[in-house]
Chains A and B, each alone.
Chain A
């Protein structure tokens, strides 16, 4: 069960109407290494992982939904009230034709979200290494979006999200350490 707090994890500010930045950001919304994929991946892996790290997957999976909500807010603000002409100039007129200004789970190239982005191998080490890789990929994606963006307010929020990927990666790395730890094995010399 979840409890919803009606506020964002970090305030989202956007300086100007800029549908082109929204086009890049959609990668983190419905892309392979995006926040939706992350949330679904971790919350799904929880059922087949040792007890010690279930709570970690629940916590991080839940936080990814808070990130998803921030990304959605960014995209919404960047495109709100944009005219069809502005959307066309930003190269997302095909999105407009299909969805108007509605958000859609797709990547920056317009490919719809697919469950095959989310792996669940059932092997705890394999799954945690996948999670570490996913966090590093999400971190890199935020870097590339920041590189493309000249909106300082937006970048402030993106920097926060990138920092969270660093912390998540660290916690998954620690989870691997926990699972390979031999401390509780009886040592007889």
Chain B
């Protein structure tokens, strides 16, 4: 179940004539639910307080997203 990453990357074609400085690596989000199918039984839970904060009761679905201005705070960074 844990054989996935929350982020994938790809490398778009860079033309010598692109006016903006190229972004060589693009990333996109691939949150855990994409890999889950039907939710299996007996998954690990947050305690109620943590669950309210996280937005989900289930640890397996927790995928916090942080912007470029707040880097390094998420498990998916």
State the A residues within 8 Å of B (CB). Answer: 10, 139-140, 142-143, 146-150, 152, 155, 159-164, 166-167, 169-170, 173-174, 177
Cross-chain pairs A/B with CB under 8 angstroms, 27 sampled: A10-B52, A10-B55, A139-B29, A139-B31, A140-B29, A142-B65, A146-B65, A146-B66, A149-B69, A150-B67, A155-B66, A155-B67, A155-B70, A159-B55, A160-B53, A160-B55, A163-B54, A163-B56, A163-B63, A166-B32, A167-B56, A167-B61, A170-B33, A170-B36, A173-B33, A173-B37, A177-B37
Q: A10-B52, A10-B55, A149-B67 are in contact. Are A166 and B61 (CB under 8 A)?
A: yes
Kindly list chain A residues whose C-beta atoms are within 8 Å of the C-beta of B29.
Answer: 139-140, 143
- Check A166/B69 contact, CB under 8 A, given A159-B64, A177-B37: no
Interface SS of chain B: helix, strand, loop or mixed?
loop
Chain B residues in the interface with A (C-beta under 8 A):
29, 31-33, 36-39, 52-56, 61-70
Also in contact, A163 and B68, with CB within 8 A (given A10-B55, A139-B29, A143-B29): no
Q: B55's contact among A140, A167, A169, by CB below 8 Å, is which? A: A167
Q: How many A-B residue pairs have CB under 8 A?
A: 64
CB-CB < 8 A to B65: which residues of A?
A: 142-143, 146, 159, 162
Please, which residue of chain B has its CB at the minimum distance from the CB of A132?
B33
The CA of A166 and the CA of B59, in the complex, are separated in Å by 12
A166 touches B38 (CB 8 A): no
Are A170's CB and B54's CB within 8 A?
no
Least CB distance from A52 to B in Å reads 14
Measured CA separation A50–B68 after assembly (Å): 43
* Complex Cα spacing A155 to B54, Å: 13
A39 CA to B64 CA, complexed, in Å: 23
Q: State whether A166 and B63 are in contact (beta carbons under 8 Å apart), knowing that A160-B55, A177-B37 are contacts in the complex.
A: yes
